[in-house]
């Protein structure tokens, strides 16, 4: 396994982050525990979750699955950098969502109980809350850090402006601020190259990207469809919309003799701003297969071809759209 620092911090994390959104809804607890054990065997020490995962209001199903895995002992918790999130709706009452100081504190305490741990390594705001001032958010986060319940704070689905605003205000409070951003980024979704990635690079944020395979579009979607495998209607619509790009992409992967999913991850890993793509395996086989991406070195010519197949916005803003 390869390791890197999470942004400007001294924390070392694996170049692949294990995403757990499937744990509960699509992967049984037994299989989820086996996947996490195998991840450790591969050297993956970075696991990402969220209090809303499991998607039954207020139940925190996925965090509970991880908590029971930690409770098995054997160094599982000590070897893991655990990242979870706050923002989503956890109940029907007014203060059971978003980023008020009250909800942040309660949500953190609840996540700690479900995860069966005394601290969260990376506590991420799942979305920007435009109705809560940063002074209130940072006050709540600072208190959790002082109490040792949170080590680092990160964001998810922020804009470049949100990152700048948050970290400038944190700086005034002599607080470390955001150390990471989790965003949608893959070969078919490159909007973050305009402002979010430049902001992360400037402020020293690590980048974990979700949906690295574009909901399966970059995982051999056409071949799987031909083999009779079904997909969700929304995903099928995306596949049809991008069919021409997908055909070119899969032909390229066949030409270089690599699986489409591995090439998609290798393309992300080649970006120096990216810390760790978030992989979300449903099975041990899928987890094992993802390790191949770490061994693929895409040449400058390969990168140019991929850029031609799925062009980005043209670089960072404003050069991407202005003279």
Per-residue pLDDT, 89:
97
Q: Is 308 part of any domain?
A: no
Per-residue pLDDT, 21:
97
Q: Is 241 part of any domain?
A: no
Q: Is 53 part of any domain?
A: yes
| pLDDT tops 80 at residue 235 | no
Average pLDDT taken over every residue of the chain: 96
Q: Is 255 part of any domain?
A: no
Q: Is 250 part of any domain?
A: no
User: 145-168: per-residue pLDDT in tens?
Assistant: 999 999 999 999 999 999 999 999
CA 286 to chain centre: 17
For 31, other C-beta atoms within 10 Å of its C-beta total 16
124-128, 216-220, 226-230 — which is least confidently predicted?
A: 226-230
Q: Is 118 part of any domain?
A: yes
List residues with catalytic annotation: 53
- CA–CA separation, 254 and 207 (whole Å): 29
Per-residue pLDDT, 230:
45
| pLDDT tops 80 at residue 200 | yes
Q: What is the CATH number of the domain that holds 60?
A: 3.20.20.100
Q: Is 13 part of any domain?
A: yes
What integer is the mean pLDDT of 112-136? Answer: 98
Total domains in the chain come to 1
Instruction: Show the domain range for 32.
Output: 3-215+260-297
- CA–CA separation, 31 and 251 (whole Å): 33
| pLDDT tops 50 at residue 228 | no
User: 261-313: per-residue pLDDT in tens?
Assistant: 999 999 999 999 999 999 999 999 999 999 999 999 999 999 999 999 999 99
Q: Is 304 part of any domain?
A: no
Per-residue pLDDT, 225:
58
What integer is the mean pLDDT of 106-128? Answer: 98
49-58, 182-191, 229-238 — which is least confidently predicted?
A: 229-238
Looking at the chain, the whole-number percentage of residues with pLDDT higher than 70 is 97
């Amino acid at each position: 396994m390869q390791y890197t620092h999470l942004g400007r911090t001294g924390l070392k994390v694996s170049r692949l982050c294990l995403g757990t959104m499937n744990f509960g809804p699509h992967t049984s607890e037994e299989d989820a525990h086996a996947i996490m054990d195998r991840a450790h065997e591969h050297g993956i020490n970075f696991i990402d979750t969220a209090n809303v995962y499991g998607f039954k209001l207020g139940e925190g199903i996925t965090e509970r699955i991880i908590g029971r895995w930690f409770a098995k002992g054997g160094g599982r918790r000590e070897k893991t950098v655990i990242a979870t999130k706050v923002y989503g709706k956890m109940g029907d009452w007014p203060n059971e969502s978003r980023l008020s100081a009250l909800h942040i504190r309660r949500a953190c305490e609840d996540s700690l109980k479900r995860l069966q741990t005394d601290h969260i390594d990376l506590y991420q705001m799942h979305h920007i809350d435009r109705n809560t001032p940063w002074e209130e958010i940072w006050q709540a986060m600072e208190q959790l850090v002082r109490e040792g319940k949170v080590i680092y704070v990160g964001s998810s689905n922020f804009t470049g402006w949100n990152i700048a605003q948050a970290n400038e205000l944190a700086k005034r409070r002599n607080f470390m601020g955001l150390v990471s951003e989790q965003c949608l980024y893959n070969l078919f979704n490159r909007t973050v190259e305009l402002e979010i990635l430049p902001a992360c690079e400037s402020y020293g944020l690590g980048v974990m990207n979700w949906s690295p395979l574009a909901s399966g579009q970059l995982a051999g979607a056409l071949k799987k469809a031909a083999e009779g495998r079904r997909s969700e209607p929304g995903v099928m619509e995306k596949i049809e919309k991008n069919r021409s790009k997908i055909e070119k992409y899969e032909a390229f992967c066949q030409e270089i003799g690599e699986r489409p999913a591995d090439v998609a991850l290798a393309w992300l890993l080649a970006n120096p701003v990216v810390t760790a793509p978030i992989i979300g395996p449903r099975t041990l086989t899928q987890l094992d297969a993802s390790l191949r991406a770490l061994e693929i070195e895409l040449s400058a010519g390969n990168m140019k071809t991929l850029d031609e197949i799925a062009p980005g916005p043209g670089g960072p803003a404003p050069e991407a759209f202005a003279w």
